[in-house]
Amino acid sequence: MGERKYNLTDEEKSKVKSLVSFTSYFLFSCLAIISIVTYIMLWYVPEINTATNDQIVEDKVENGIDLSTGLIADEGYKMVKQQCISCHSSKLIIQNRATKEGWTNIIQWMQETQNLWDLGKNEEIIVNYLAKNYAPDEQGRRKPLENIDWYVLKQ
């Protein structure tokens, strides 16, 4: 390629300069906006929070409990966070107690009737975690009254 030379006047030079700086400013702004939007979307848009998400929220653990979900931070809980809390909150999981078979049945029921996807190899991790940490407690036909909050009754 041959070398070419242009001779520009000062006025032309300053025009080019301002054009270049405007364009780069514009492109930079667009980029910034796009990345902010993507950043936000990646946290919150529910459709994206599916199986492909490797980590939805920070795993901050205190006293063995994952703070953002209330799940017991035992082996496998991150998988539960990935797969199980996009439709309903973790509260629905935490209130339930079941054996391995029982948890498998709950998952199967959601797959058959509630649009839950195939969990593949992850199912075993999830079921093992749930059956260990959310297992039925031994209890009789009726428990003693619990958490009684005593107060002086003024009649």
Q: Which residues bind ligand HEC (CB under 6 A)?
A: 83-84, 86-88, 92-93, 96, 106-107, 110, 114-116, 126
d(CA 12, CA 5): 15
Token pair for 155: 């009649």
- The Cβ-side half-sphere exposure at 79, using a 13 Å CA radius, reads 15
d(CA 114, CA 117): 9
Assess 118 for contact with another protein (CB under 8 A).
no
Query: Least separation, in Å, of the C-beta of 101 and ligand HEC?
Result: 14
Binding residues for another protein, how many (CB under 8 A)? 50
Assess 36 for contact with another protein (CB under 8 A).
yes
d(CA 125, CA 129): 6
Q: Dihedral sign for Cα 101, 107, 83, 66, please.
A: negative
* Beta carbon nearer to ligand HEC, 38 or 113: 113
| Cα Rg of the chain, angstroms | 28
Residue of 3, 4, 5, 39 interacting with another protein (CB under 8 A)? 39
Assess 46 for contact with another protein (CB under 8 A).
yes
Residues binding another protein (CB under 8 A): 35-36, 38-40, 42-44, 46-47, 53-58, 67-68, 70, 87-89, 91-92, 95-99, 102, 106, 109, 113-116, 136, 139-143, 145, 148-153, 155
